[in-house]
Amino acid sequence: MSPGTTGAGTGLTPTGLTRTAHRIIRLNYGFQLLFNLLWWMPVFYAYQKQAGLSDGQIFGIQSIYYVAFCLFEIPTGLIADRIGARNCLRAGAVVMTAANLAPVVSASYTGFLLHFLAIAMGRSLTSGAASAYLYDGLRAENCEEHYLKAEGTARAWGLAAKVVCWPLVGPLMSIAHTAPYVLSAASAAGSLACAVGLPRLAGTDGGTGASAAARKDGGRRGRAFLRDAGAALRCVASSRWLGLVMVQGVAVFTLSRICQVNLFQPILLDHGIKEASHGGVLAAMTVAEAVGSARPQWLSRRVTPVAWVSILSLALAGTLAAMTLGGPWAVVALLCLFAAATGFVYPVQRKLVNDAVPANAPRATLLSVESIVDRAVCALAAIAVGAYVSAGRLDALLWHSALATAVLLGAVQLLLRSGVVKRDRAAVEAPAAEAWSS
């Protein structure tokens, strides 16, 4: 085993991790924090307006972004399983660095369109690869019980960084107008340094699982890509449990994305909360989500992880519906509760999906399949949101969202209780339960 390979003479740290596992977790923290630290997020709408773009152009670019993300997820998951998750993380960081510099070079419609297309490419390159690398890396070190906490803590650190950095954007723009995009590019470059420092995983030079065997075919890359795609689809088709877990996660992703991105400002404005206070509310929500993400082990082990995802998803839906009944302060409190529930549920759902992936399956490709499904549903939901909000029916939207979530999760529980879909207790329930105590 080479010096860069995991598992050889690593020893144990006081936390029970091998030194290599500890290194993987720490570098993953740094990568996730810096890669997702988009300094321009609070000001991108105003920035584009100042650059002369119309509302139609701005929201048109957002629509193109969602579609592009779905399309890019198809090849990038396959690429991760072919070239290796670690190499895919490096490629994603390079693309993200260039993407954040595009508006600096050209603050025009074309520049912003290229910016968001490159963002979609960079994020799709890492969406499945980051989780796959962390999961496989810890498993290779026999430290997989630390995965849940590592996934949640990485998300929490990333959210905490946004709370600290986003309030600085306004003052920094008064010094240099392009500062949000330059700083975002610098952060992405820092994530590249973290990706470069990640150790190579034994037996996964150019990918993981089934992909390693497929690489023996050498130059027949096109067939290999198709073979990986076919293997991923066969995994979903043959594993009812995996398919069910993915479908259950659709409610989590769609509700959180629609509320925190598309409905956040309309909800606040509808309750008379002025734009000057939106940044403070967003910071409070981010803190609540960070706390939840850092402590998924607070959830009781008496309830199975799949049940926790359903319970928390219903809590998200119920919180949205309750916002139609309260005043401004109640809405702010409910938004923070919504964010905290989102923080708890994301790492649990991510671990459920990873545990449900069969042995030797193309993990990164399967995680990309999940991401495609999530974003496709989100894109359809965004169209509905636009129609409801334009018609002045925000309250109806929130109630209908809660009802649709309840119906979906009711169907999931019915399938579980009827025995049509059986839980893989050995591969899913036990590892997930053990992780609560870590």
Give per-residue pLDDT as tens, 418-432.
Answer: 766 666 543 444 333
Residue 184 pLDDT > 90: yes
Closest among 327, 262, 310 to 406, alpha carbons compared: 310
Residue 167 pLDDT > 80: no
**Helix segments in 166-220, DSSP class H:** 169-175, 179-197, 210-214
pLDDT score for 55: 67
Residue 350 pLDDT > 90: no
Q: How many structural domains does the chain have?
A: 1
pLDDT score for 392: 80
Q: Which domain holds residue 401?
A: 19-435
CATH number, domain at 47?
A: 1.20.1250.20
Residue 419 lies in a domain: yes
Residue 120 lies in a domain: yes
pLDDT score for 6: 46
pLDDT score for 248: 82
Rounded Cα distance between 83 and 206, Å, is 4
Residue 98 lies in a domain: yes
Give per-residue pLDDT as tens, 12-59: 565 677 888 888 889 989 998 999 999 888 777 778 878 888 767 776
Residue 7 lies in a domain: no
pLDDT score for 364: 67
pLDDT score for 166: 76
Q: How far is CA 102 from CA 192, 325, 387, in A?
A: 18, 43, 32
Give per-residue pLDDT as tens, 206-252: 544 444 444 444 445 455 555 666 666 677 666 778 778 888 888 88
Residue 353 lies in a domain: yes
- Please give the model's pTM, rounded to 2 decimal places: 0.64
**Helix segments in 17-84, DSSP class H:** 19-35, 44-50, 55-83
Residue 4 pLDDT > 50: no
Mean pLDDT of the chain: 78
